[in-house]
């Protein structure tokens, strides 16, 4: 299971390590070797790209250049476009066996969105689900505050139901990072690799900027992860995937 919280930046896992462990855990869940999980973690700075983008002209050279600049490139299994993460972003994932019927992409997104909106609201910020086209990895289920992206969601569905299939629904929440640095990293990669979408720093925001609660001098990512963990309980997802005892979520 991925770490719930790590306050020491030097101890955070690299993105490759964290994503690999997420995939391994999800496969074990699909096979029935362990129970479904809600995972909340932080990881080191990285650009996280899709498998599609690894096939773009110039990808290998661009990835090498960005790694030398302090932005190693990791590959995720979901769709979308390049996004930037760091110690000031919080990752949350719901991993569970692929259900036989009645569960939709929108239903999973709706369930994952609610605890994130709740945790953001607890800091006095009003968030909503809305696409932010100029942000990195823009999608229909972006979470925005004052018209700027603060979180993005993605899903992976693998294999058949009842035969090892599993689902990963994940989100990345920008808690305390510099939007200009995140955008510069994505745009630097786009400048080296044809086909990567550019973004605008003005389309990105952070909880540190939007929170009304006083947050100076505190470890805001740790505090946010605590509130997110309290919001993202098994009860949050019971209506979606708990019918007939199908799932028992554990944190």
The answer for residues whose C-beta is within 8 angstroms of residue 5's C-beta and 6 or more apart is: 40, 41, 42, 222, 225, 226, 229
The mean pLDDT of 91-105, rounded to a whole number, is 87
Residue 129 lies in a domain: yes
What does the block give as tokens for 185? 């990293």
**C-alpha distance from residue 204 to each of 11, 61, 151, 217, 231 (Å):** 27, 27, 9, 23, 24
CB 54 within 8 Å of CB 75: yes
Task: Say if 22 falls within a structural domain.
Answer: yes
CA-derived radius of gyration, the chain: 17
Is the pLDDT at 216 greater than 90? The verdict is: no
- In whole angstroms, how far apart are CA 75 and each of 29, 82, 109? 21, 9, 21
**pLDDT, average across residues 62-87:** 96
Q: Report pLDDT for 129.
A: 97
pLDDT tens, residue by residue, 10-53: 579 999 999 999 999 999 999 999 888 889 999 999 999 999 99
CA atoms of 3 and 208, how far apart (whole Å): 23
In this prediction, residue 245 has a pLDDT band, given cuts at 50, 70 and 90, of: very low
| pLDDT for the residue numbered 214 | 64
Q: What is the mean pLDDT of residues 63-71?
A: 97
When divided into structural domains, the chain yields a total of 1
pLDDT at position 17 is 94
**Structural domain containing residue 109:** 9-238
Name which residue leads in pLDDT, 6 or 148.
148
Question: What CA–CA distance (Å, rounded) separates 15 from 41?
Answer: 11
Residue 166 lies inside a defined structural domain of this protein:
yes
Report the distance separating Cα 206 and Cα 176, nearest Å: 6
Residue 249 has pLDDT above 50, yes or no: no
Residues whose CB falls within 8 Å of the CB of residue 147, separated by 6 or more in sequence, listed in order: 130, 132
pLDDT at 215 over 90: no
**pLDDT band for position 217 (cuts 50, 70, 90):** low
246 found inside a domain: no
- 200 burial type by CB count under 10 A (0-12 exposed, 13-18 middle, 19+ buried): middle
List the catalytic residue out of 83, 137, 193, 199: 137
4 lies in some domain: no
At 133-171, the pLDDT tens digits run 999 999 999 999 999 999 999 999 999 888 889 999 999
- Give the pLDDT confidence score for residue 34 in this predicted structure: 86
Quick one: pLDDT at residue 207? 97
Look up the CATH number of the domain holding residue 96.
3.30.930.10
Rounded mean pLDDT, 105-111: 90
Band of residue 243 on the pLDDT scale cut at 50, 70, 90:
very low
Residue 237: per-residue pLDDT = 61
3-17, 19-33, 190-204, 212-226: segment of lowest average pLDDT: 3-17
In a domain, 232, yes or no: yes
Of 214 and 223, more confident: 223
| Residue 13 counted as domain residue | yes
Quote the mean pLDDT of the chain. Answer: 87
Q: Other C-beta atoms within 10 Å of 51: how many? A: 11
Beta strands in 130-179 (DSSP E): 143-145, 148-158, 166-174
- pTM value is 0.90
Average pLDDT over residues 97-118: 89
In angstroms, what CA-CA distances link 110 with 41, 204, 218?
Answer: 21, 22, 30
Q: In the annotation, is 137 catalytic? A: yes
Contacts of 60 (CB under 8 A, 6+ apart): none
Question: Does a structural domain hold residue 251?
Answer: no
């Amino acid at each position: 299971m991925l770490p719930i919280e790590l306050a020491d930046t030097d101890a955070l896992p690299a993105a490759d390590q964290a994503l690999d462990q997420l995939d391994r855990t999800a496969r074990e869940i699909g096979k029935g070797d362990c129970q479904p999980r809600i995972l909340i973690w932080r990881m080191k700075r990285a650009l996280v790209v899709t498998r599609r983008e690894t096939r773009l002209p110039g990808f290998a050279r661009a990835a090498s250049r960005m790694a030398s600049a302090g932005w190693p490139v990791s590959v995720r299994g979901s769709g979308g476009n390049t996004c930037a993460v760091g110690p000031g972003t919080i990752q949350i994932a719901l991993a569970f066996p692929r259900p036989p019927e009645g569960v939709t992409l929108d239903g999973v997104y709706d369930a994952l969105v609610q605890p994130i909106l709740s945790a953001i609201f607890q800091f006095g910020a009003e968030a909503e689900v809305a696409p932010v086209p100029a942000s990195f990895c823009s999608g229909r289920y972006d979470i925005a505050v004052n018209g700027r992206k603060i979180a993005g969601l993605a899903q992976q569905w693998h294999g058949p139901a009842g035969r090892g299939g599993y689902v990963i629904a994940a989100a990345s929440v920008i808690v305390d990072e510099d939007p200009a640095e995140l955008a510069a990293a994505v745009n630097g990669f786009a400048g080296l690799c044809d086909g990567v979408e550019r973004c605008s720093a003005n389309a990105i925001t952070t909880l540190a900027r939007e929170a009304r609660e006083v947050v100076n001098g505190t470890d805001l990512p740790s505090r946010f992860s605590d509130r997110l963990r309290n919001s993202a309980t098994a009860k949050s997802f019971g209506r979606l995937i708990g019918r007939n005892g199908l799932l028992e979520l554990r944190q």
